[in-house]
């Protein structure tokens, strides 16, 4: 807005305030600030249910005032009355140039503030409209196993194949059912895993192999060493594994009503997200003797299957989609390009942001707990899995009281954020997990970009989250974009206050990937940013209709627009601005 227009609007508003002030008593003018009551300052609150106005970014972008200065915006009228009173006093005694200058400065300043507020309101309204459109577009389809008549709450309904892998608390097997719904897509193999059959098959076996059913599902069998054999006790003890369960995952299990009743006010249920695993079915059943059980995990079997086994005869089973490999396996066989690695890191940030928004902390992020499948172009799609160590308690949220060493701080001590690993128990000690998973993503970024994880190494290259310094972090390759290098360092900041949130970090990568043109502008304003967002929205909607829906870049753009918030977008733009200005 031109200075002359701002001055004109300011003078008009100033004259209005002056007339309004002159018509009122002087006593009311002596209390200029609405919060100044009884000799103390009270910050006016926002009415319940009223959406927050658009916050600004800062002076470098010509934007409105931040939300925390709402009290200042509400007290502009009182400040104006105070200035007008001084002006009237000076005018009666013969106003000089200084008095006129005060009134002129007041009018100009009031006009600029009003213009910034209007620009912020326009930006917030546009972001809300875009977010509403893409929130509907990004909704996941219902679970394919829930749209058919097949129940799937008994182990006998599945055909179980070979072992996919095992961890410290469960074993995973490939599985299928005799009749699958037509809309269940079979996961495509990546040719990363070693073949389980000889290289050359006899003709008869080859024919049988061709006719063998595909295994689009995976069954995770938990090891039950302490939960007893009742369904209710198993569900209660292993409830963290049920956090990503779908709405009908527990519908066929006896005792589910009791579990859900106890879960109210306790364990949270995670809403679906494309970068987070979905559990289609969860049920208890007797422990079977599956292929490789006597070799891979004999100690956790029940005594009737193995004489030296310590497990109970009944345990929890989870049915999920079968993904071709883990992130560790993918990176062992592939070296993604810098742009592809940036997309992979962005997917992890989107998944972590969804968890944080739901008040859930994973607390065990590592490459073995991230699954990968490929789209039609061979681009990897990442999914966070294994919630056995998560924090999903509605009573504490992301602030865990750490009263003693017996409190579970999560798994994977090597990738435990500094605020978690250095915490010492006490009566009032609370561990903040709001940015703990973000820190783990920063450490995993080294693996994604082709380097060794500095918190897994040995010798001089090994760092510990308890005592490392940011200056000790190894540098990413020069081929990695500068924005990404700055972001990884900021994600691994020891102080939580210096670490960006998952949403801001994801927006940084979104802007770096798609917004190079808009970021190149020297005088970036909110109106220009909104214009760019509208262009991206139209292009994304068109690409979603014309191209395959499995395109990773299109999906990421839709997630970006579905999570669009003016404040976090502005914070991300500021970070990029300062990082590039420092070069």
Task: Name the band, by pLDDT with cuts 50, 70 and 90, for residue 284.
Answer: very high
User: Measuring CA to CA, how many Å separate 208 from each of 158, 180, 198?
Assistant: 20, 20, 14
**Residues paired with residue 317 on neighbouring β-strands, in sequence order:** 221, 283
Mean pLDDT of the chain: 77
Q: Based on the structure, what is the number of domains in the chain?
A: 2
The yes-or-no verdict on residue 198 having pLDDT over 50 is no
Residues 235 and 305 in one domain: yes
Residues 150 and 113 in one domain: no
Task: Tell me the percentage of the chain whose pLDDT exceeds 70.
Answer: 67
**Is 413 within a domain?**
no
**Is 181 within a domain?**
yes
- For the ranges 118-127, 189-198, 277-286, 299-308, the lowest mean pLDDT is seen at 189-198
The yes-or-no verdict on residue 26 having pLDDT over 70 is no
Residues 11 and 87 in one domain: yes
**Is 357 within a domain?**
no
Task: Tell me the percentage of the chain whose pLDDT exceeds 90.
Answer: 43
The yes-or-no verdict on residue 22 having pLDDT over 60 is no
Task: Name the band, by pLDDT with cuts 50, 70 and 90, for residue 101.
Answer: low
pLDDT: which is higher, 199 or 260: 260
Residues 149 and 132 in one domain: no
**pLDDT average, residue stretch 144-173:** 82
The yes-or-no verdict on residue 305 having pLDDT over 90 is yes
**Is 334 within a domain?**
no
Compute the radius of gyration of the chain from its Cα atoms: 29
**Is 485 within a domain?**
no
Residues 72 and 115 in one domain: yes
pTM: 0.76
Give the residue from 209, 139, 145 showing the smallest Cα distance to 182.
Answer: 145
Question: Which tens digits make up the pLDDT trace of 168-183?
Answer: 899 999 999 876 554 4
Instruction: Using CA atoms of 333, 336, 341, 344 in order, give the dihedral in degrees to the nearest 10.
Output: -50
Cβ–Cβ < 8 Å for 322, 193: no
Instruction: Using CA atoms of 113, 114, 116, 119 in order, give the dihedral in degrees to the nearest 10.
Output: 180
Question: Which tens digits make up the pLDDT trace of 232-275?
Answer: 899 989 999 999 988 788 776 654 444 454 444 567 888 899 99
- For the ranges 255-264, 430-439, 451-460, the lowest mean pLDDT is seen at 255-264
**Is 483 within a domain?**
no
User: What's the confidence (pLDDT) of residue 187?
Assistant: 45
**pLDDT average, residue stretch 133-143:** 69
User: What's the confidence (pLDDT) of residue 475?
Assistant: 93
Which tokens sit at 501?
């949130």
Q: Report the alpha-carbon distance of residue 531 to residue 529 in Å, rounded.
A: 5
User: What's the confidence (pLDDT) of residue 29?
Assistant: 41
CATH code, domain with 160? 3.30.200.20
The yes-or-no verdict on residue 5 having pLDDT over 80 is no
- Could you tell me the residue range of the domain that residue 88 belongs to? 3-39+50-137
Task: Name the band, by pLDDT with cuts 50, 70 and 90, for residue 373.
Answer: very high
Residues, the chain: 583
Cβ–Cβ < 8 Å for 50, 103: no
Residues 156 and 238 in one domain: yes
318 — phi, psi (to 5°)? -120, 130
Q: Report the alpha-carbon distance of residue 390 to residue 384 in Å, rounded.
A: 12
Residues 69 and 161 in one domain: no
Cβ–Cβ < 8 Å for 387, 362: yes
User: What's the confidence (pLDDT) of residue 191?
Assistant: 38
Question: Which tens digits make up the pLDDT trace of 83-97?
Answer: 556 655 655 555 555
Residues 111 and 187 in one domain: no
**pLDDT average, residue stretch 478-484:** 94
**Is 283 within a domain?**
yes
> DSSP character for 197?
S
User: What's the confidence (pLDDT) of residue 536?
Assistant: 86
The yes-or-no verdict on residue 212 having pLDDT over 60 is no
The yes-or-no verdict on residue 287 having pLDDT over 80 is yes
**Is 574 within a domain?**
no
Residues 61 and 91 in one domain: yes
Of 322, 350, 376, the last residue of a domain is 322
User: What's the confidence (pLDDT) of residue 529?
Assistant: 82
User: What's the confidence (pLDDT) of residue 186?
Assistant: 44
**pLDDT average, residue stretch 218-238:** 91
The yes-or-no verdict on residue 19 having pLDDT over 90 is no
User: What's the confidence (pLDDT) of residue 195?
Assistant: 32
Question: Which tens digits make up the pLDDT trace of 412-421?
Answer: 888 999 999 9
**Residues paired with residue 371 on neighbouring β-strands, in sequence order:** 326, 383
pLDDT: which is higher, 3 or 197: 3
Residues with Cβ within 8 Å of 476's Cβ and at least 6 positions away in sequence, in order, are: 445, 446, 449, 451, 484, 485, 488
Residues 126 and 150 in one domain: no
Instruction: Using CA atoms of 339, 345, 350, 351 in order, give the dihedral in degrees to the nearest 10.
Output: 140
Residues 154 and 61 in one domain: no
The segment with the largest mean pLDDT, out of 107-111, 192-196, 527-531, 546-550, is: 527-531
- From the candidates 143, 353, 364, 386, give the one annotated as an active-site residue: 364
User: What's the confidence (pLDDT) of residue 43?
Assistant: 35
Task: Name the band, by pLDDT with cuts 50, 70 and 90, for residue 462.
Answer: confident
User: What's the confidence (pLDDT) of residue 206?
Assistant: 38
Active site residue 377: no
Question: Which tens digits make up the pLDDT trace of 40-70?
Answer: 333 334 334 434 433 344 434 444 444 444 4
Residues 11 and 128 in one domain: yes
């Amino acid at each position: 807005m031109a200075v002359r227009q701002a001055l004109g609007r300011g003078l008009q508003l100033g004259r209005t305030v002056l007339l309004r002030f002159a018509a009122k008593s002087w006593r009311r003018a002596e209390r200029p600030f609405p919060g100044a009551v009884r000799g103390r300052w009270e910050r006016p609150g926002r009415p319940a249910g009223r959406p927050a106005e658009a916050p600004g970014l800062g002076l470098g972008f010509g934007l409105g005032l931040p939300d925390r200065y709402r009290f200042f915006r509400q007290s502009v009228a009182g400040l104006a009355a105070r200035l007008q009173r001084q002006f009237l006093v000076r005018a009666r005694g013969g106003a000089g140039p200084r008095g006129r200058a005060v009134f002129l400065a007041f009018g100009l300043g009031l006009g600029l503030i009003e213009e910034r507020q209007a620009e912020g309101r326009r930006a917030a309204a546009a972001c809300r409209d875009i977010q509403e459109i893409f929130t509907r577009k990004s909704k996941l389809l219902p679970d394919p196993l829930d749209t058919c008549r097949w129940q799937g709450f008994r182990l006998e309904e599945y055909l179980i194949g070979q072992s996919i892998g095992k961890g410290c608390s469960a074993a995973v097997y490939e599985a299928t059912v005799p009749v699958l719904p037509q809309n269940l897509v079979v996961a495509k193999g990546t040719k990363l895993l070693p073949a389980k059959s000889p290289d050359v098959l006899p003709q008869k076996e080859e024919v049988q192999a061709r006719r063998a059913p595909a295994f689009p599902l995976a069954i995770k069998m938990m090891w039950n060493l302490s939960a007893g054999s009742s369904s209710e006790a198993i569900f209660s003890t292993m409830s963290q594994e049920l956090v990503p369960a779908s709405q009908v995952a527990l519908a066929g299990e006896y005792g589910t009503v009791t579990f859900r009743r106890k879960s109210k006010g306790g364990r949270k249920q995670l809403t679906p997200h494309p970068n987070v695993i979905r559990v289609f079915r969860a049920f208890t059943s007797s422990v079977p003797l599956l292929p490789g059980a006597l070799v891979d995990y004999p100690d956790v079997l029940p005594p009737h299957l193995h004489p030296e086994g310590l497990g109970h005869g009944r345990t929890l089973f989870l049915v999920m989609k079968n993904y071709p490999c883990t992130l560790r396996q993918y990176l062992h066989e592939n070296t993604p390009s810098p742009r592809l690695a940036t997309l992979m890191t962005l997917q992890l940030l989107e998944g972590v942001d969804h968890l944080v928004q739901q008040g859930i902390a994973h607390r065990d992020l590592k490459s073995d707990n991230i699954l990968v499948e490929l789209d039609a172009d061979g681009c990897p799609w990442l999914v966070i899995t294994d919630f056995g160590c998560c924090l999903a308690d509605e009573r504490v949220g992301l602030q865990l009281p750490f009263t003693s060493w017996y409190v579970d701080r999560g798994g994977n001590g090597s990738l435990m954020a500094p605020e978690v690993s250095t915490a010492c128990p006490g009566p009032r000690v609370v561990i903040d997990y709001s940015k703990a998973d973000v820190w783990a993503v920063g450490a995993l970024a080294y693996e994604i970009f082709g380097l060794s994880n500095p918190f897994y190494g040995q010798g001089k290259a090994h760092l510990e989250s308890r005592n490392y310094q940011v200056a000790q972090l190894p540098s990413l390759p020069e081929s990695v974009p500068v924005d990404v290098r700055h972001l990884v360092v900021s994600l691994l900041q020891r102080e939580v206050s210096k670490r960006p949130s998952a949403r801001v970090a994801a927006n940084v990568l979104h802007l770096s990937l798609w917004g190079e043109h808009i970021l190149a502008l020297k005088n970036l304003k909110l109106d220009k940013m909104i214009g760019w967002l509208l262009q991206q929205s139209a292009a994304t909607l068109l690409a979603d209709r014309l191209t395959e829906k499995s395109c990773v870049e299109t999906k990421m753009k839709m997630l970006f627009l579905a999570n669009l918030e003016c404040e976090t977008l502005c914070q991300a733009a500021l970070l990029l601005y300062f990082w590039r200005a420092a070069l």
